[in-house]
Amino acid sequence: MLGFLTARQAGLDDPLRLRRAESTRRVLSLTLNPDREVDRIHGNGINTIDIEVIEGRYMLSGGADGVIVIYDLENYSGNLQYACKAVCTVGRSNRYVHKFSVETVQWYPYDTGMFVSSSFDKTMKVWDTETLKPAEVFEFEGNVYSHHLSPIARKHSLIAVGTKEPKIQLCDLKSGSRIHVLQGHKAEVLSVRWSPRYEHILATASADSKVKVWDVRRASGCLFTLDQHNGDKSKGASEAVNTAHNGRVNGLCFTGDGLYLLTTGTDDRMRLWNSATGENTLVNYGKVSNESRKKLQFTVSRGSSPELVFVPCESSVAAYALHTGELVTMLRGHYNNVDCCEFHPDYQELYSGGKDCNILAWIPALRAADVEEESKSANQAAADQSTVSTAFQDAWSSDED
Amino acid sequence: MELSRRDRLSELVEQLTTSGEPQLNQASMKEIKKICKVSNDCIDHVYHSVISQLNQEHAEVRLSAFQIASELFSRSHHFRTLLVDNFQEFLELTVETDSEQPLPPPKEVARKLRSLAIQTVQSWQTSYGAAYKKLALGYHFLKQVKKVDFQDAEARTVAERSREVDRQRKMQRIYKERVEAASKDMEESYQEIEATLTEMESCMSLLFPEFDVIDIQTTNSSPPSSQPANECLSVEEQPCCSKDLKDDGREGMMQKKESREEKKREEEEEDDNDNEEDEEEEEEEEESGEEEEGESLDEHLFIRNSGLISHAYSLDLNLSPGLRVKETEDNEAVVSTVKDLHRLITNKHLPAVQGWVQVFTKSGAEQQLLRRALDLKRSLEATLQKHQELHIDYKTRVRKVMKAASDGEEDDDDDFDEVPEKEGYEPHIPEHLRAEYGLDPSPSTSTAAVTNTPPAQRPAAPPPLSSSSSSSRRLKRLTEEDQDPTCAAATLRHLKQNLPLPKQSSSSSSGPSSSQSSSDQKAVGAPVVPFGLDLYYWGQEQPNAGKIVKMSSQHQFWVPIDVDEEVENKELLAESRSRYISFPGSFTPVNHYCSASLGNGKLCQRQDRLKCPFHGPIIPRDQEGRPCRQEDRLREEQEKRRKSEEQPDWRDAELMRDIEAATGENLGSDRVGKKGKGRKKKYPNLSDLKQGANTARSRLEKKVLNKSSMRRIAEVMAKADRRKHDKFSNQFNYALQ
């Protein structure tokens, strides 16, 4: 660490280097930390969380009981110990609350004054954060599994919506209407994602085990369909042509730079695709247990040198190296299935929500105190942690000798 | 050193967990702790072995493993970290957080494990929850998601509790409904029951007069001379029952109700006419009267009143304890009503009332309802009791109603009802049935019938059995039938006219009874032989016996040339002339015993005719069971020798093992001795899970679903299938199967 710092000071290294080294260390040391807690507001499973990108301060969470909660993640108290407070809640008593399970929540990418939520009550609501009232309600024919706003779009403000219908709806926030339909899937659309690199590129994943990539400017059809065998006919059966998975595809995620696309399916596989060509990179992540019938929200770290994929895997969150497929760690802490996880890019923190109603914060472990500091901090630490440390001490009774 | 410690640890954990006891062995536990104290590696090892034991599908193993874990949890930080890291699995295995992974049997131990685990988790949470985040999370998970109530001693989950509440509510609703239905029912039938009771009451008072206390008082106060008259009157006022009362019964009743004095007097009055004693009494009375002339007026009054000479006079009364009411024509209606009412009460009202009482008590309904139902029940039971005390002698009233009906209308179908089925021609017709057959009543007239008596004359001799009008009608019909050639009567007539009756010839010669008996005597000796061709052609030459006539071709003109139309068959010829009579002889029971010695001093008691299944052919033997003949004895000895050679003495398993131990060579003792002996149970202390409940179902299953019977059934089914296939394989709908 000191070496990095001096090199940085001396201008020997690229500034990115230190940053990357430190963030990599932090990402790799993610752990369940008693210092950070998230208030338990949800009385039911948590389906989705989203952290806004402007300040990185507020987090949205949507529960299976229709409740939406906004948390403040920023710790201004100065203490290490911090419990993320719920800033505001769209609870069951709110008259605008979703009737059924909220499947997706997302901040408006440019302003925290607005967020969008969609639910199994067949509606998608655009909320005003200040008043907690929906500014716009879109209604659909089927349950809404997923929606997404492009994080970089300047030229359009489209929300792509995947519902129980095989058609993908495009809703325009400007006009408040559904302006477009993308046809091509044969079953319900479980996940939709805009590319973080090109504002018109949209990827959709469906229960017909296909993943299609669209250019929304082109009305005629999709750009291409991801094929797990890369067009090699001999490997797959005839019906497996152009399928991304052998089961329902319920998770989609672009890497931070938008060059790669990750998909997960109920065939317990995760695949990495080149998002420009649609080529399967054939990275083997091993078995990624996945039984969800709904959307699975997973995330990719940003800024670390081997990028990590955090994907819910039953009651734990598995962290894989993106390009090698190596399982780095299993973050175990939930007591029931994990449905969503979100990476905080600024602080290298991970938040995960599961059916056990917990939102767990995975915080990088602090670097162990260096040798010089130890002398002065020893006393203080002893005083501070006298209460806690008893718990960590062995208590062998003397009569066992 | 390290390795031996590990082995020792594994051994200890296994020993502790498979002990099957609810508490850990303190000595072993202490040893584990001692070893664990040495290094974290040991704790690692113990942790893994404990977790693997926790994964066993046996609640007792799990319980013991959990106890080890909780012992170590409070001791070692390292163990805590390990366990908390894997806390999900730990909870699944001990608290049953995953509904798809229920705790294994036995059930009681599983329940105990669960409650113990929940308590322990709570105590862990209070002492370590702050330090171990995951522990706190697990605790909250249990508390908030699984809704485990840590205060609840039963450690039930919220689901169980809500289920309980639901059930109670449901039961309450059901009870309420029942109570409502029952009270409604009671309202409806209360009147009816009351009516029944009063009816019964009055019927019984009709059958048997009530003597109330008031009655007695009035009779006592009334002048004694008029009292018996009164009594008689009251008895006679009851139209039907006084006669039915047997005397002793009445006396019993009297005894209950009246004073002793009156009773005696009445007895006197009743009996004075026919008793010889009475005369004596009279004399005595006179004597005493002479003697005690000057005695008090009371005495006289007493004598006058009672007709008894002295107070000391004793009378033996034969009192039968019960009452007895006999059904006669006079009280028939009342008794039948009583009977009906009794049946009504026992079959309908009493069960209904009992049901209500049950419903009311079970559901804790209003006291009033319950009291009412109880009152009803009590009165019904009292009535029944009373009825029983009456001891009514019911007449057997069989088909009385039927009789009345048949009296009213004349239906000649009734007469046909009891005629037994007869088939075929009967040459001998009993005298009293002749009319039924449409024959003349007597044999003398039947001879006349042979000589073509016109049927029109027959009604002149009407059969005495049935009423005249119906029989005449029937006869008329019969004569009509005679004309009809298709009916049986015409055939009968034809037979009658054409066949000479054998009976008549015999009866004319020597009387029917004697000839009958002589022929009977002959029939006893002679075998009964079915009629056959040989009898038909008895003593004659059969024209074409033993010849087989071959059917010539049915074709018009295509006839095979070289076919003999007739073939002689010697066998057939012989058969038609002779007859086989099989004579099996008579069964003679076996009287001899096998009587081979059984080794225990007894002789074999089997009674086989030729050969005993155990001791071979039956031969004459002496008292000890030895064969009498020399050759038999030799044979038996040989047999014995052969048998002993088959299983020589030295192959005794024990002996062989000894020899093996001594010489170190394998003689195969385990092969000999271990025949059919099952493998020893690995952990004898654990309760056996495989030992299925000995239920009727399991026993049946064992019988029905055992391998051999299944195989047998499968074979039979396959055979049936195959047969069908063989038969119908060329038919498409069977071939399709």
Closest CA to A68 of A108, A25, A102, A96: A102
What is the least distance, in Å, from the CA of A29 to any CA of chain B? Answer: 16
Residue that has been written with the tokens 């909320």 in this structure: A127
- B-chain residues within 8 Å CB-CB of A335? 87-88, 91, 97, 137-138, 141, 145
- Contacts of residue A387 in chain B, CB cutoff 8 Å? 130
Residues in chain B: 737
B133, A333: Cβ pair inside 8 Å?
A: yes
Residue with the two structure tokens 């309202």: B187
Interface confidence (ipTM) of the complex = 0.77
Q: CB pairs under 8 A, 24+ apart, for A2-8?
A: none
CB contact under 8 A, A396 and B134: no
Contact check, Cβ <8 Å, B145/A356: yes
Q: What is the dihedral of CA B27, B30, B31, B37, to 10 degrees?
A: 180
- Residues in chain B closer than 8 A to A315 (CB atoms): 88
d(C-alpha B533, C-alpha B11), whole Å = 96
The pLDDT of residue B543 is: 66
- Work out the pLDDT band at A148, boundaries 50, 70, 90: very high
Average pLDDT, integer, range A259-269: 91
In chain B, residues with a C-beta closer than 8 Å to the C-beta of A388 are: 130-131
Please give, rounded to a whole number of angstroms, the shortest distance from the CA of B24 to a CA of chain A.
Answer: 15
pLDDT digits over A25-50, tens only?
888 888 887 778 888 888 888 999 99
Q: Give the three-state DSSP class for B605.
A: coil
Q: What single letter denotes the amino acid at residue A283?
A: V
- Cα distances (angstroms) measured from residue B189 to each of B183, B347, B367: 10, 14, 19
Chain A residues closer than 8 Å to B76 by CB: 394-396
Paired strand residues for A214: A202
Tokens for A147, please give them.
Answer: 């929606």
Average pLDDT for runs of 10 along chain B of length 737: 79 82 81 82 86 85 86 84 84 79 80 85 84 82 75 59 85 87 86 86 76 45 43 42 43 45 48 46 47 56 67 62 66 82 85 85 77 86 82 59 43 50 56 57 44 44 46 56 60 64 44 49 65 74 68 70 67 72 78 81 83 83 80 84 68 67 61 44 67 77 87 92 80 65
- The shortest CB-CB distance from A388 to any of B74, B97, B131 is to B131
Name the most confidently modeled range: A3-7, A395-399, B442-446. Answer: A3-7
Instruction: Report CB contact under 8 Å: A358, B140.
Output: yes
Tell me which H or E stretch contains A205.
strand A201-206
Long-range contacts of B420-429 (CB under 8 A, 24+ apart): B425/B492, B425/B495, B427/B499, B427/B501, B427/B502, B427/B503, B428/B503
CA distance B666 to B299: 119
Distance CA B529, CA B536 (A): 13
Find all residues with CB under 8 Å of B682, minimum gap 6, and list them. Answer: B18
* C-beta of residue A146 within 8 angstroms of C-beta of residue A191: yes
Average pLDDT for A239-266: 87
pLDDT mean over A337-355: 89
pLDDT value of position B494: 67
Check whether the bond before B463 is cis (ω within 30° of 0): no
CA dihedral (B621, B626, B629, B635) positive or negative: positive
Distance CA(B463)–CA(B458), nearest Å, equals 10
State the nearest Cα–Cα gap between A304 and chain B, in angstroms. 26
Nearest one of A267, A262, A243, A240 to A251, comparing CA atoms: A262
Record the pTM: 0.53
Q: Say what the pLDDT of residue B45 is.
A: 86
Burial class (CB in 10 A: 0-12, 13-18, 19+), A157: middle
How many A×B Cβ pairs under 8 Å?
Answer: 69
CB A117 within 8 Å of CB A61:
no
Q: Cα(A286)–Cα(A272) distance, rounded to whole angstroms? A: 12
Helices (H), B106-157: 107-128, 133-140
Cβ atoms of B688 and B21 within 8 Å: the answer is: no
8 A C-beta contact, residue A201 and residue A153: no
Closest residue on chain A to B126 (Cα): A391
Chain B nearest-CA distance from A142, in A, is 30
The closest of A358, A188, A322, A198 to B136, measured between CA atoms, is A358
Task: Say whether B34 and A400 touch across the interface (CB within 8 A).
Answer: yes
Q: Any bridge partners for residue A128, and if so which?
A: A114, A133
Secondary structure (3-state) at A255: coil
A359: closest chain B residue by CA = B137
Helices B26-38 and B59-73: angle between axes, nearest 10 degrees: 50
What's the pLDDT tens digit per position in A81-105? 888 888 889 888 888 999 999 999 9
DSSP B142: I
- B76 to A394: CB separation less than 8 angstroms, yes or no: yes
Is the four-CA dihedral B34, B40, B41, B45 of positive or negative sign?
positive
Q: How far apart are the first and last CA of chain B?
A: 71
CA of residue B419 relative to chain centroid, distance? 37
Residue B153, burial from CB neighbour count under 10 angstroms (0-12, 13-18, 19+): exposed
Query: Is it true that domain A39-299 has CATH number 2.130.10.10?
Result: yes
User: Other CB atoms closer than 10 Å to residue A133's CB: what's the count?
Assistant: 13
What residues of chain B lie within 8 A of the CB of A400, using their CB? 30, 33-34, 37
Nearest alpha-carbon partner for B429 in B453, B452, B445:
B445
Strands B325-326 and B392-393: parallel
Mutate to test the interface with A, among B37, B74, B75, B88 (most CBs of A within 10 A): B88
Q: How many residues does chain A have?
A: 401
Q: What share of chain A is helix, strand, coil (3-state, %, to 5)?
A: 10, 40, 45
Chain A interface with B: residues with Cβ < 8 Å: 32-34, 40, 43, 315, 332-336, 356-358, 360, 387-388, 391-397, 399-401
pLDDT at B627: 81
Q: Is the CA virtual torsion B455, B460, B461, B466 positive or negative?
A: positive
Choose among A332, A387, A393: nearest Cβ to B77. Answer: A393
Structure tokens at B366: 């209003």
- Chain B residue whose CA is closest to A394: B76
